[in-house]
Amino acid sequence: MIEISKKWKQAAAVSAGMSLALGAAAQLLLPATSVAQAAEPASPDLAFVCTAQIAQSVAASLPTTVTVQPIKNGPFRDATRYVAATGSRPAYCQVTGSFVTNPASGKTANFLATFPAAWNGKYMQLGCSGHCGQFYVSDPATPSIVVTAQGHPGQLVEKGYATFATDEGHVGMDGASWAVKDGKVDQDYVDDWMFRADKVLAHMGKSFTTAFYGRLSGAAQTISHAYFNGCSGGGRDAMVVASYFPEEFDGIIAGSPYNPLGMDLQASMTAIAAHSAPDAALTPALLALMDKVVKNQCDALDGVKDGLIQNPAACNFRPERDLPHCATGTSGNQCFTTHQMETVGTIIHAVTDQQGHVVQTGYSASELQETGGGLAMLTDPTLKILVHHNDPAYSIASSFSFRYGGPGPVTGYHAVVTDAEVAAMRSALSAGAGHIPANAGQLMASHTKLMIWHNFSDEKLTPFNSINWYKQLAHDHGGYASVQDKARLFMLPGTGHCSISGIAPNSFDAISAMESWVEKGQAPDSLPASVADHQFTPGAAKAPALLTPNYTMPLCKFPEMARYSGHGDTHDGTNWSCHADDARLLKVGISGREAGVMN
Ligand SMILES: [Ca+2]
């Protein structure tokens, strides 16, 4: 805690210091502004100001040092890009460049700004994905934005938002090799990724926005509301913002948020378990078989046998008891070997420390699209590079063991991490983790609203992390009714990571809901969800939910669970409703307990 608060004070000092130290530097750059103004008409339009020269002259007036320039990453070959209006989407101007995140070292991060012609007076900062290093899910003009925005492509431009995104200080999305310079970990890069690029951008982006529209309109501008929105790694960004500098934003949306404290353990251990023997890996057919077993047991526990498990934590699934065993010496897609049972256990059961405390929650056992081991590309480097400072002697396997039995609530086959590893992880990564309940005090004391949403069958980032964080928040801050003034959690049953896949309604308008909450005081009790194609990988399989394109259902605020009227089509949202006196999502069965869900 001491380490973290020191880092935040440093970051705050950096922001404040930049205003003072760079004010004079900005004045010196004014001649460039004069040159641009000489050729400028009295009322320039967006196409006129959307040039590198004018954008740089606007940037030169900011307290942060900004260089407008092309970014060698993705489609941004020029420093500025003007796109004319089409249909309901207004014209917009995109600007790329770099900004100094640490004046002491000169460290920079890249940014992507999007300025619509019809500005709504509002600022939106977009989270990144994975360990960042790119803008591909953070470009409000491209289809992939649906992953982070939960809206339709171009929605933010249509709504008139000025948006900013950052690559968090390095180019290229991979585990953590970007942090290694000459064999050593450069903490400047780690800090930018963990928190600093977003913290500095919150100031820079807002001041750039008002300066840009001031230039366009010829009148001083202010920002009416500021928002943050992201999913996955961008959800991590949102949780970091919410925990450590919530006052920068009026509303924060965290989708399927990544908790680097622990997720890395889970994914690494799953990969180790799956490779522990030739017959340990799980095939898609076996995952489907497990899904069938779980669904047979659990579908009706929510009161409606409709093929959808509304509360996976309430299930009572035990892999070694409930899955068909292969006869000794055999394997195949109709049964599980002992090693495969253990891989299943590693996935769906929590990682504990040696005393049995839950360090990382397991995954939901239904609708799993993959085994979580696919994240090893992010997680092994995280542990070796970010936690162990690229120590060549570090061995992941030496920090873990597997066991059946307690102590503690988790008794099925699960991974156990050493206390030293847990301590090292918390020391190295806490400043980049917004999932620490003890650090939510600033949010609870702020005016800021936080909406978390998480897919109940998220195969990459377990939903139970979000549930445990929220349960602890309610425990620490006066109960659910009390914390719902600031923070609301919405769970999406039957859907996968960032709503890209699934069998149930996966799409809802988080941004409009947050606007109503912040700007009109209308807190979201129930959000209508429908089916949309959120997949962004060309050629990837379509989500099964697209087979039922008219499927609608309300999402209820946690701990409420959507209640069926008992009549009519279960795929019709008008037959479902949310009720304030409902707390059925608090029910924890064997599955939830073994996954480490708090009671
Ligand atoms: Ca059901």
Residue 312's identity, in one-letter code, is P
Residue 18's identity, in one-letter code, is M
Query: How confident is the model over 245-279, as pLDDT tens digits?
Result: 999 999 999 999 999 998 888 888 888 899 999 99
CA of residue 502 to ligand 1 center, whole Å: 15
Contact between residue 509 and residue 532 where contact means Cβ atoms under 8 Å apart: no
DSSP letter for each residue of 104-129: TTTEEEEEEEEEESS--SEEEEE---
Contact between residue 180 and residue 390 where contact means Cβ atoms under 8 Å apart: yes
Query: How confident is the model over 361-416, as pLDDT tens digits?
Result: 999 998 876 655 456 556 677 889 999 999 999 988 889 999 999 999 999 999 99
CA of residue 356 to ligand 1 center, whole Å: 32
CA of residue 314 to ligand 1 center, whole Å: 11
Min mean pLDDT across 52-61, 135-144, 440-449 is at 135-144
Contact between residue 300 and residue 307 where contact means Cβ atoms under 8 Å apart: no
* pLDDT reported for residue 7: 41
3-state secondary structure of 349: coil
* Start-end of H helices in 302-439: 319-322, 338-348, 376-381, 419-429
CA of residue 584 to ligand 1 center, whole Å: 13
CA of residue 536 to ligand 1 center, whole Å: 28
CA of residue 479 to ligand 1 center, whole Å: 27
CA of residue 144 to ligand 1 center, whole Å: 31
Closest by Cα among 461, 452, 537 to 489:
452
Listed in sequence order, the residues at least 6 apart from 442 whose beta carbon sits closer than 8 Å to its beta carbon are 243, 244, 245, 246, 247
Cα–Cα dist 489/445, whole Å: 18
CA of residue 594 to ligand 1 center, whole Å: 21
What is the model's pTM?
0.91
pLDDT more than 90, % of the chain: 73
3-state secondary structure of 145: helix
β-partners of residue 254 are 230, 452
Average pLDDT over residues 292-318: 97
Query: How confident is the model over 87-117, as pLDDT tens digits?
Result: 889 999 999 999 999 999 999 999 999 999 9
* pLDDT reported for residue 44: 75
**Residue 134: both structure tokens together:** 């790119």
**Residue 464: both structure tokens together:** 């139970």
DSSP letter for each residue of 3-45: HHHHHHHHHHHHHHHHHHHHHHHHHHTHHHHHHHHHT--SS--
CA of residue 420 to ligand 1 center, whole Å: 42
CA of residue 307 to ligand 1 center, whole Å: 6
CA of residue 301 to ligand 1 center, whole Å: 7
CA of residue 370 to ligand 1 center, whole Å: 22
CA distances (Å), 183 to each of 102, 186, 444, in order? Answer: 22, 9, 41
SS3 content of the chain, % helix, strand, coil (to 5): 40, 15, 40
* pLDDT reported for residue 28: 31
* pLDDT reported for residue 73: 67
pLDDT band at 138 (very low <50, low <70, confident <90, very high): confident
Cα–Cα dist 454/495, whole Å: 9
CA of residue 316 to ligand 1 center, whole Å: 14
CA of residue 295 to ligand 1 center, whole Å: 8
Cα–Cα dist 314/327, whole Å: 30
CA of residue 444 to ligand 1 center, whole Å: 34
Cα–Cα dist 454/494, whole Å: 11
CA of residue 5 to ligand 1 center, whole Å: 44
CA of residue 312 to ligand 1 center, whole Å: 10
306 pLDDT higher than 80:
yes
Q: How many CB atoms lie within 10 A of CB 336?
A: 25
CA of residue 493 to ligand 1 center, whole Å: 10
